[in-house]
Every structure is written in structure tokens, then in C-alpha cells.
Amino acid sequence: MATETHLSIELDGGGVEPTNVESSVLLGVASRYLEAMEALIPPGHPLTFRGMVVKNKCVALQVQTSDDVLAKELAAMVDMFVGDVDEAPHGVEGKINELRAALRRVPADQTASIRVGDWVRPLRLPVEDQHALLRSRTSLRAQPRRVGGAEPRIQFVSPSEPYLFSARVDAGTARDIGSHLYKWLQVEISMVRDSEGRIRNCHLLSYEVVPQRDDRAVATLRDWFANNGRPWNEVKDAGSDSDDPS
């Protein structure tokens, strides 16, 4: 069930507070972030942002959102796109580029963050020099959440990763994985990690569907023991005299 919660765009560091914050910087980051989230709202899933309060906790511009779950999902997606060296998906790339431009105006001794309820992420621009990042291959368990784009990409969540990540795929793979949304896959990816440990510039190399656990075997064993097993107090000790073959 959707519940209301607060979403905040925060600036911290450099002695910033409501009385000395560069107003256009904070308002620019906040408005661009909310516009990027609005561009990602799926049809039939209304989400509104209402009100505005400036908090003297660092400096936080706080609004109220009508759906905390959807707001957190979209905030995480914007966070993923804004720090990725790849272009954002068609239809939202303009908003992401505008947000990146707003973030470049944040003073070097300050950090911008997004907070939805108790979920918080620092906002980072993509690393321009890809040679400074070490590319590696890894295998992990992940669940595809969204598939699409003119240049297809798949959005994943993984229990081993604190952040969402997306992987580039070909059109055929995108169609195949589209039939496995919200199912667990074992994926092999080629990627780099940024200074925050987030997966960036990711390409899907291969995947396997993780078989669903079949509880029928467990139920069969339970039924067998119920009909044929002896109560525990009737089982003799392995070291008792009655078990001595002599």
C-alpha cells in the first residue's frame, strides 16, 4: 500500500547552511532531480510531489511524495543514470543531462544527496576518464526489473550490490530476458566500479535462469515421515546396550 513520505535533496559540507547556501545551486539540483523522476513515472502509477520546506540539517529542500515505494524506486533509477557514463534511456536523457549540469555547479567542498525516508544516496557525476577505472568480469545473482530502450538495457537489482545497475544487451537478449522479469538469474557481466563501488558501464555477457526451489520433494519427505517415522522418544541411543551386537 502506498504511503506518503518525505523526499529531500541535500547539500552538505563546506559550512553550508540555509543562510549561506547558493540558492540557485540547491534549487537547480532539486528541480532537475524531480523532473527526471517525473519523466520515469510509468503510466497508470500516479506520483506527486507537494510542498517545500528548507531544513537546517546541512541544507535540505524537503517535499512530500504521495508514494514512498515508487518514489524510492524512481530516485534510485535517476541516481543510477546520472552517474553512468552511458547515455540515459530515450525520453529521459535530456533531464539527466540537465541534472548533471546542475550538479557541476555544486561547490567542490559540498556534496549533494537524495533522501527518501531512511534511504539516502550521494549524487556522483560519471567518471569521464574510463582508463582510470579497472574493467573486470564477475558473476552474480540478480533480478531483472526493467528492459527497454532504443539501445536495449536491462535494469537489475542484486542482493550483493547496494545499488541498482543496468547492463547493455542486444535486442534478442532483451526480448529473452523480458520473459524473466522479477525472476532470479545468474549473470556474468563486464563492468567497472566507480569510487562509491557502484557498477558502471556494464555489459551482459551471459545469463542462466536460477531454478525455482521445488517444495514438492520436501512435502513428500514430510508426508513419508508422518506416516512411517517413529516418534523421537522411541528411537534408541546409538550407544545404548540394546544396540550392542554382542
Q: What is the pLDDT of residues 53-109, one digit of tens each?
A: 998 878 999 999 998 888 988 998 888 888 876 667 777 888 988 999 999 999 988
Residue linked to cell 547492463: 167
pLDDT above 70 covers what percent of the chain? Answer: 79
What's the pLDDT tens digit per position in 192-246? 887 777 888 889 999 999 987 655 555 666 666 666 655 545 545 444 444 444 4
Spatial distance between the Cα atoms of 51 and 73, rounded to a whole number of angstroms: 21
**Phi–psi pair at 44, nearest 5 degrees:** 80, 5
| Residue 173 in this model has a pLDDT that exceeds 70 | yes
Would you say 8 and 60 are in contact if contact means Cβ atoms under 8 Å apart? yes
User: So what's the pLDDT on residue 94?
Assistant: 87
Residue linked to cell 531512511: 118
Residue-wise DSSP of the chain:
----EEEEEEEESTT--TTTS-HHHHHHHHHHHHHHHHHHPPTT----EEEEEEETTTEEEEEEES-HHHHHHHHHHHHHHHT-SSPPPTTTHHHHHHHHHHHTTS-TT-EEEEEETTEEEE--PPPS-GGGS--EEEEEEEEEEEEETTTTEEEEE-TT-SS-EEEE--HHHHHHHHTTTTS-EEEEEEEEE-TT--EEEEEEEEEEEPPPP-THHHHHHHHHHHHHPPPGGGSPPTTSGGG---
Domains for the chain: give ranges and CATH numbers: 5-124 (3.30.70), 134-209 (2.40.50)
Confidence of residue 8 (pLDDT cuts 50, 70, 90): very high
| Residue 28 in this model has a pLDDT that exceeds 50 | yes
Confidence of residue 182 (pLDDT cuts 50, 70, 90): very high
| Averaged pLDDT, 133-156 | 86
Confidence of residue 181 (pLDDT cuts 50, 70, 90): very high
**Phi–psi pair at 139, nearest 5 degrees:** -120, 135
Would you say 37 and 78 are in contact if contact means Cβ atoms under 8 Å apart? yes
Of 160 and 58, the one with more pLDDT: 160
Spatial distance between the Cα atoms of 174 and 154, rounded to a whole number of angstroms: 7
Residue 240, C-beta contacts closer than 8 angstroms, at least 6 positions apart = none
Q: Is 160 exposed, middle or buried (0-12, 13-18, 19+ CB in 10 A)?
A: exposed
Would you say 47 and 62 are in contact if contact means Cβ atoms under 8 Å apart? no
User: So what's the pLDDT on residue 3?
Assistant: 64
User: So what's the pLDDT on residue 246?
Assistant: 45
> Mean pLDDT over all residues of the chain?
82
Spatial distance between the Cα atoms of 113 and 65, rounded to a whole number of angstroms: 17
User: So what's the pLDDT on residue 112?
Assistant: 93
User: So what's the pLDDT on residue 102?
Assistant: 93
Highest mean pLDDT among 11-15, 91-95, 116-120, 141-145: 141-145
**Amino acid present at 206:** S
User: So what's the pLDDT on residue 205?
Assistant: 93
Query: Residue 122's CB: how many other CB atoms inside 10 A?
Result: 13
